[in-house]
Structure 1
Amino acid sequence: MWVDGLPNLVIGLREGLEIGLVVSILLAAVRRTGAGASAVWLGVLAAALLSLGFGAVLAFSRAELTITAQAVFGGLLSLVAIVLVTWMIFWMRRAARGLSGELREKIGHAAEIGAGALATTAFLAVAREGLETALFLWTTVQASGDTLAPLVGAAVGLAVSFLLCWLIVRASVRVNLGVFFSRTAVLLIVIAAGVLAYGVGELQTAGLVPGRNWVAFDLSTVVSTDSWWVSLISGITNLAPRMTVLQVAVYVAYLVTVLVVFLRKPGTAAVPVERPARRLPRWVYATAAVVLPLLAVGVLALVTSPSGDGSATQVTVTADGCAKDWSGTTAGSSTITVVNKSGHGGEIYLIRAADGGVIGEIEGLGPGTRRSLTVDLPAGQYSWRCLVPGELDQVSPVAAVTGGSGGTVVPAVAPVSDKDLKEPADSFTSYLTDKLSTLDTQTGDLAAKITAGDKDGARAAWLAAQQTWERLGAAYGQFEDLGVSIDGLPQGRPQGVDDPGFTGLHRVEYGLWHGQTAAQLAPVAVKLQQDVQTLRQKLTFDPADLPLRAHEILEDALRRILNGQTDQGSNSTFTLVAADVDATDAVLDRLQPLVDARKPGLIATARTQLAAVAAACQTGSRQLVDARVGAAVETLSAIPTLLEVRAS
């Protein structure tokens, strides 16, 4: 998308204008001293070649590294680029007014020495800007992904900047350079903050910085990452749809700190125009800019060289084809890198050609990104399936995996479609409808006993209703606001158990076991029945959610019920966990045919573990129940992966 090129257009325009102005001032100074301009152009040419060569070295060196080394390389150079560009922004604000005089003075001294000194002066003046430009453009290209838009944007920005310089020199246009540099600096700071976050993410991917799995947000789970507004924000800011907490923290910290310092007007006395005694010679900066990155590349290549385990195969997803370059690999352990050049995010599967069984998968492969998949393949025929929502649903050419060690038999997972889950989901919806009908009757009985002042009868009616609710398997908010109204807890509410928003079954439980009167509880019980009746009318169930329910019901019992979070005085923990076992059994009844076809024996193992949980609940041993619920949850957690929808 065109927005991917906007950051580099700004960088190219600003940096190109700086380079162009430096060259223009040098040429003007040469004319005034009477020296020849050819030496200046030779210096400019040498600086341009060095900058282009530096960019080529960056691209080539990264391409030759392993995936981990690429992450380290990209992350470290991103941090270097941020340091350089931040220094440049503030240096330009301070030195812009004195730049012309400084260069003329140096040209005057160089002209007295000869052409070599003139060329060296021009080279050093331009090389500093050129090397900085090459490095920052490279890092923004890496942050944007594998697309031509950033390169096109940089080329357009450079072309426009050089045209402006030519027009300025010819006095054809007048540009307020102070306003230009200050305003583009703000946008450059925003871009730099995004590159910094990208660099931190790369170092987290490489394992050098912790917090890789501590995700601050993941828009791919909420909206399509291909949405125009997501692409617009990502293109301008270099922010990714999925970012870790540390990435967000460094982004905000850099952006706020640098903007505050930059926008604060510097005092005239605090910023001297010149400090020649503290400046290093320009050749020091030029040498460091070339030598240090090359040394870093060499060290990284040695430290992170490939181990030689497995093959290094690469396939490419484009906008019009799925892994058309797939030509197979050697049997045994293989590491296959998938590069997404389609411009959209998607799911990528390695499948067995004979029956479409899924051998491996890469979920949420973003546009312009790459990810590796390591599998142990026996000899056979394999292909790739690419699911890019709204753009692509194709299978690659079939290719053979031969030779090598032969590999081990890989358990392929037969793909599940929406249609496969429809019948089980419809059956479970009928189950929910039946239980809600029962719950409607039970909450009506509960309200009647409370109104009649039958405390013991109300407690028994409450327990029956709460057990039915647990058998729905909806305690973790499946029913959204109605679920909270029916089964919400006082934790987090401003007034705790006295908060007006605390309603439903647990509010009644609290009142029944804390001596509240019928007058206090009757309105709560009536509202509870009304909420249950509303839920009966609005009940919907997403088929794709059913496999998740297999382990989430007991997982929720472990998280909320067994730790005492839900108990409001009834001391009914183990009774409710037993009801959650019933709910899990109801889910497994619907999913068993699909699971048995993909992993025989898993349901049988789970049934045995569920029976053990129910038996432990009879003992009243919290430790025993915790252990058995944890074992069952671990077994059941494999079901969502087995039954993930991989075919529309």
Structure 2
Amino acid sequence: MRRHHLSPVPPARHLLVAGAVTVATAVGIGVLAVGGGSSDGPRAHPSASASAPAKAPDGLRHTSVEVSEGGCGHGWTDATGGKQVFDLRNTSSRPAEVYLTDPANGAVYGEVEGLGPGTSRPLSVTLGGGSYAFVCLPEDADAVTGPTVRVPGPARGGGPAAVPVSQQDLIPPTIAYQKWVAGRMDELVRRTDALRSAIHCGEPATARAAWLPAHLVYERMGAAYGAFGDADGAINGTTAGLSGGVHDPDFTGFHRLEYGLWHGQSASALRPVADQLVKDVRKLREDWSQARMDPADLGLRAHEIMENTVQFELTGRTDYGSGTNLATTRANLDGTRAVLRRLEPLLKPRAPWLPELKSDLDRTQRTLERSHHGDHWTPLDRLSRTGRQRLNADAGALVERLSRVAALMDVRRTR
């Protein structure tokens, strides 16, 4: 994927977007309730329900709760279970984040971030029987835990909760993923060398056959692009932002060769492009041992790979003549699985919907494979209407489910 040209993807905290309709949908699939992080309204997070309006016609029980260093959680005394709204009021002089937690293990039922001084924000949750406490995290100050409140009755029927992950938790899967990427580098170099050789020999049919396998090796390493730096643009950049389009001298790498090979350009025109691609790929392999991925990005990438696939591959915006967007989508699906395998030890105790996520991955893969015939992939514009609708639906559902991985793997303040 050519992420360096994409519009910026927001941090994992904001992947489940604010808004009553979006969050209400999330409730049914087990995502934390979250009040909005901006003046636009509530936002979602890994495990509860949607924000309700701050006034009573919603028919829900409302409780006004103080957010401050000296009075965190004050105001909630008459506890009851079921769906309800906490109207969080920041009475302090600094912005704060607020979590509703299980005080025994720190699991989060809902959160509001960016609650400004003197402002209020609703947080809607569904509570079963158990113990709860608000945690207030003022900006530039230590966290404060409010009083523990006991809700009577059985625990069943409450919204799910998730224990926050720490930066330290994410280091082992990130290191494992970096090693996995390192293990792909030799194949990338070997296949790119074969592509260059075919171009130098003036064999366009052989070069076209060699282009896709080389390109797909790179595409499968989708979560590493942030650590690739400028190499990503050189190796896999598109014409986005280039004034000269396909003729711009800064259009290089796989897609520049794709354009030339499928538009009849001569071997003499493509040889320097192929030489530079091989040089860039070899330099990437050489530099990778010193690269460091940010552990906090790994969960975000699990969502971002397929989100960008839907935005760019499944719209054909990255097709420069080969008609292989569906093959690239399949490679991106493989790349997503590679990230999830490393995150699975953290996801298993936090994501009861993990089996459904795996089903979404399998279903999307089966749909893609209907367009795969030997070495040939059906071009995107030749899919039947039914096939296109099925693919869009499956990929869209998968992206929605992956957004919860990003939310769960978001590193949160605990002190």
Asked if TM exceeds 0.5, the reply is yes
1:456 corresponds to which letter in structure 2? A
Deviations 1:15-40 (A, max 9, x none): xxxxxxxxxxxxxxxxxxxxxxxxxx
| Matching of residue 339 in structure 1 with residue 339 in structure 2 | no
- Rounded Cα–Cα distance in structure 1 between residues aligned with 2:159 and 2:39: 33
- Rounded Cα–Cα distance in structure 1 between residues aligned with 2:215 and 2:309: 13
Counterpart position of 1:384: 134
Counterpart position of 2:143: 393
Deviation at 1:476, TM superposition (A): 7.7
- Rounded Cα–Cα distance in structure 2 between residues aligned with 1:577 and 1:591: 21
* Residue pairs, 1:178-257, within 5 angstroms: none
Contact 1:333 1:407 in 2 (8 A): no
Deviations 1:505-560 (A, max 9, x none): 10011111112222222222222233334434163312122112223222222211
Counterpart position of 1:183: none
Q: Bigger CA drift: 317-326 or 339-348?
A: 317-326
Contact 1:321 1:396 in 2 (8 A): yes
Deviation at 1:564, TM superposition (A): 1.3
Counterpart position of 2:11: none
Q: 1:611 aligns with which of 342, 359, 365?
A: 365
| Matching of residue 629 in structure 1 with residue 395 in structure 2 | yes
Deviation at 1:457, TM superposition (A): 2.8
2:166 corresponds to which letter in structure 1? S
Deviation at 1:427, TM superposition (A): 0.8
Q: Secondary structure, in 3 states, of the residue corresponding to 1:568?
A: coil
Deviation at 1:497, TM superposition (A): 0.5
Deviation at 1:453, TM superposition (A): 2.0
Deviation at 1:469, TM superposition (A): 1.2
Q: Secondary structure, in 3 states, of the residue corresponding to 2:271?
A: helix
- Rounded Cα–Cα distance in structure 2 between residues aligned with 1:509 and 1:566: 10
2:81 corresponds to which letter in structure 1? A
Contact 1:609 1:631 in 2 (8 A): no
1:609 corresponds to which letter in structure 2? R
Counterpart position of 2:318: 566
Counterpart position of 2:292: 540
Q: Secondary structure, in 3 states, of the residue corresponding to 2:370?
A: helix
Q: Bigger CA drift: 340-349 or 419-428?
A: 340-349
Contact 1:317 1:323 in 2 (8 A): yes
Deviation at 1:242, TM superposition (A): 6.3
| Matching of residue 645 in structure 1 with residue 411 in structure 2 | yes
- Rounded Cα–Cα distance in structure 2 between residues aligned with 1:585 and 1:438: 19
Deviation at 1:498, TM superposition (A): 0.4
Contact 1:377 1:410 in 2 (8 A): yes
Deviations 1:388-416 (A, max 9, x none): 4531223222122248x998232111221
- Rounded Cα–Cα distance in structure 2 between residues aligned with 1:305 and 1:455: 68
- Give the direction of change, closer, same or farther, for the CA distance of 1:409–1:643 in structure 2 (3 Å limit): same
- Give the direction of change, closer, same or farther, for the CA distance of 1:206–1:495 in structure 2 (3 Å limit): closer
Q: 1:550 aligns with which of 288, 297, 302?
A: 302
- Give the direction of change, closer, same or farther, for the CA distance of 1:592–1:407 in structure 2 (3 Å limit): closer
- Rounded Cα–Cα distance in structure 2 between residues aligned with 1:555 and 1:422: 24
Gaps of 5+ in 1: 1-204, 208-240, 245-303
- Give the direction of change, closer, same or farther, for the CA distance of 1:367–1:523 in structure 2 (3 Å limit): farther
> Cα RMSD between the aligned structures?
3.1
Q: Secondary structure, in 3 states, of the residue corresponding to 2:140?
A: coil
Counterpart position of 1:408: 157
| Matching of residue 457 in structure 1 with residue 206 in structure 2 | yes
Contact 2:128 2:159 in 1 (8 A): yes
- Give the direction of change, closer, same or farther, for the CA distance of 1:326–1:529 in structure 2 (3 Å limit): farther
Deviation at 1:337, TM superposition (A): 1.7
1:596 corresponds to which letter in structure 2? K
Q: Bigger CA drift: 374-383 or 603-612?
A: 603-612
- Give the direction of change, closer, same or farther, for the CA distance of 1:461–1:625 in structure 2 (3 Å limit): same
- Give the direction of change, closer, same or farther, for the CA distance of 1:482–1:373 in structure 2 (3 Å limit): same
Contact 1:475 1:556 in 2 (8 A): no
Contact 2:72 2:135 in 1 (8 A): yes
- Give the direction of change, closer, same or farther, for the CA distance of 1:437–1:484 in structure 2 (3 Å limit): same
2:73 corresponds to which letter in structure 1? A
- Rounded Cα–Cα distance in structure 2 between residues aligned with 1:577 and 1:441: 22
Counterpart position of 2:344: 592
Contact 1:327 1:399 in 2 (8 A): yes
Q: Secondary structure, in 3 states, of the residue corresponding to 1:307?
A: helix
Counterpart position of 1:195: none
Question: Between Structure 1 and Structure 2, which shows a larger proportion of helix residues?
Answer: 1
- Rounded Cα–Cα distance in structure 1 between residues aligned with 2:224 and 2:254: 11
Deviation at 1:578, TM superposition (A): 1.6
Give TM-score scaled by structure 1 length.
0.49
How many aligned residue pairs are there? 351
Q: Bigger CA drift: 373-382 or 443-452?
A: 443-452
Counterpart position of 2:32: none
Gaps of 5+ in 2: 1-17, 21-36, 41-53
Q: 2:185 aligns with which of 430, 436, 447?
A: 436
* Residue pairs, 1:52-67, within 5 angstroms: none
Deviation at 1:467, TM superposition (A): 0.3
Contact 1:578 1:617 in 2 (8 A): no
Contact 1:338 1:371 in 2 (8 A): yes
- Give the direction of change, closer, same or farther, for the CA distance of 1:386–1:243 in structure 2 (3 Å limit): closer
Question: Structure 1 vs Structure 2: percent identity of aligned residues?
Answer: 38
Deviations 1:115-136 (A, max 9, x none): xxxxxxxxxxxxxxxxxxxxxx
- Give the direction of change, closer, same or farther, for the CA distance of 1:449–1:406 in structure 2 (3 Å limit): closer
- Give the direction of change, closer, same or farther, for the CA distance of 1:412–1:367 in structure 2 (3 Å limit): same
Q: 1:349 aligns with which of 85, 99, 109?
A: 99
Q: 2:166 aligns with which of 395, 400, 417?
A: 417
- Give the direction of change, closer, same or farther, for the CA distance of 1:487–1:430 in structure 2 (3 Å limit): same
- Rounded Cα–Cα distance in structure 1 between residues aligned with 2:360 and 2:91: 42
Counterpart position of 1:522: 271
- Rounded Cα–Cα distance in structure 2 between residues aligned with 1:451 and 1:428: 35
- Rounded Cα–Cα distance in structure 2 between residues aligned with 1:581 and 1:305: 44
Deviation at 1:351, TM superposition (A): 0.8
2:80 corresponds to which letter in structure 1? T
Q: 1:496 aligns with which of 231, 234, 245?
A: 245
- Rounded Cα–Cα distance in structure 1 between residues aligned with 2:117 and 2:227: 32
* Residue pairs, 1:105-184, within 5 angstroms: none
Contact 1:443 1:529 in 2 (8 A): yes
Greater Rg over alpha carbons, structure? 1
Q: Secondary structure, in 3 states, of the residue corresponding to 1:609?
A: helix
| Matching of residue 311 in structure 1 with residue 68 in structure 2 | no
Q: Secondary structure, in 3 states, of the residue corresponding to 2:264?
A: coil
Greater relative contact order, per chain length (Cα 8 Å cut-off, separation 6+): 2
Counterpart position of 2:27: none
Q: Secondary structure, in 3 states, of the residue corresponding to 1:360?
A: strand
Deviations 1:312-364 (A, max 9, x none): 32222324564355546322232112223443334321012233221111133
